[in-house]
Structure 1
């Protein structure tokens, strides 16, 4: 008969109460295989690095981390464990809002008048004045442009030639209208003035949406928001190097 011995260490302050001991026989479960650490890759809105630091700053070595800032790309990136193959990369950027992209303001996007009319009708919620929206929808639906083209060709006796080409567009489009939309993803709405530019080529008419005010506000926002983020990061992690690229 085989004999199994069990060594039990009794604490000094043992009070004599029964001690339950459970013995299990059989094959032990296999040990989980060792795995390499996984680096963290996160790309979000402009405040993502700050939000990560707010919860993780006690877990990192600030001397081995840095912040890179690109104002042209409107982005901030945090690199933790800079010399480690498994470094953590937490980045965020100011992204144009879905509404700005959909309207195509200050982009190469071109609209046919009837398509723009339908679009404005379905996005009335972003117009500052609903009456202005209805009027603009009707105007675009019945858009008329008068194109006068004069071509003058004069051939002189010495063989020289002069070509004069002029195009004048008279339309019933308003000079501008007002929208109330977010300029950046995750930000509140801003009131902006938008102009409609008409490009006429013979019978083909295309329209584009332009807003100098939106462009100016974006430039102001870009620097102010990035500066605010960096100020808050310095307050949380003063030893992290901040590099403008």
Structure 2
């Protein structure tokens, strides 16, 4: 090895041993976050135009997600990914899922979750009617000499006269979003099994999911108009 010293340098120090390791900043990674994760990240940082030039935002309407790669040309870029997910409080009701309950099981479930109802007294009235439902049908059937064709008619009669046609819940539909008022119906079959259905919920999910994603995109674009945005 030949070393030449120039520009008036008279002394050269050579160190022998292991060099200090090169340190690279560890990336921030958020996976499985809520749909507003990318906006939350960007709104809390002081971002230069150069860094935005090296960043990108990906989104998908079908899978309802946003993914931010912040300063993507760095060795360890931050990756912030969030998606629009149904709220756990809503999911446990199994609305429109086809899940069946017995009238007693549904009554117990409603009693333990009455705090989600718009009216708690109404919820407890529903609990009482569900617990008495099967017994009332059976008592009326015992009073008849011919049960053929009567069971379905009696069930319809009891549902129309005793069981409320529906009830209202107040809870968020999506994670990170405000509460919504949703009408839910109880469907009861000839074997006394129950299921919860809600055309309002189906419509809300279909129409609002794209609106929520667009709202996030618009806020991010307003915050950083130069950010590259790609649809997948």
**Residue of structure 2 equivalent to 1:47:** 36
Higher strand share: 1
Structure 2 CA distance, aligned partners of 1:94 and 1:55? 21
Unaligned runs of 5+ in 2: 1-17, 142-146
Q: Does 1:78 align with 2:78?
A: no
**Residue of structure 1 equivalent to 2:95:** 105
Distance apart, 1:212 and its partner CA: 0.9
Structure 2 CA distance, aligned partners of 1:46 and 1:225? 8
Distance apart, 1:228 and its partner CA: 1.6
Structure 2 CA distance, aligned partners of 1:224 and 1:47? 13
Structure 2 CA distance, aligned partners of 1:113 and 1:32? 70
Cα pair distance change 1:136/1:32, threshold 3 Å: farther
Distance apart, 1:118 and its partner CA: 0.8
Instruction: Judge conservation of contact 1:80–1:87 (CA < 8 Å) in 2.
Output: yes
Distance apart, 1:139 and its partner CA: 1.6
**Residue of structure 2 equivalent to 1:221:** 208
Cα pair distance change 1:31/1:213, threshold 3 Å: same
1:206-231 alpha-carbon deviations (Å, 9 max, x no partner): 32211111122223322222222111
What TM-score, normalized by structure 1, do the two folds share? 0.69
**Residue of structure 1 equivalent to 2:56:** 66
**Residue of structure 1 equivalent to 2:227:** 240
How many aligned positions are there?
197
Structure 2 CA distance, aligned partners of 1:49 and 1:109? 35
Higher helix share: 2
What TM-score, normalized by structure 2, do the two folds share? 0.72
Range 133-142 or range 108-117, more displaced: 108-117
Structure 1 CA distance, aligned partners of 2:206 and 2:175? 15
Task: Give the alignment partner of residue 196 of structure 2, picking from 188, 205, 209.
Answer: 209
Q: Which runs of 4+ in 1 moved over 4 A?
A: 30-33, 145-150
Cα pair distance change 1:32/1:119, threshold 3 Å: farther
Cα pair distance change 1:121/1:239, threshold 3 Å: same
Distance apart, 1:83 and its partner CA: 5.2
Unaligned runs of 5+ in 1: 1-29, 151-166
Cα RMSD of the aligned pairs, angstroms, is 2.8
Structure 2 CA distance, aligned partners of 1:197 and 1:32? 70
Task: Give the alignment partner of residue 183 of structure 2, picking from 173, 182, 193.
Answer: 193
Instruction: Judge conservation of contact 1:57–1:237 (CA < 8 Å) in 2.
Output: no
Distance apart, 1:130 and its partner CA: 2.7
Structure 2 CA distance, aligned partners of 1:76 and 1:37? 24
Structure 2 CA distance, aligned partners of 1:46 and 1:222? 10
Distance apart, 1:136 and its partner CA: 1.0
Look up the SS of the partner of 2:229 in the other structure: strand
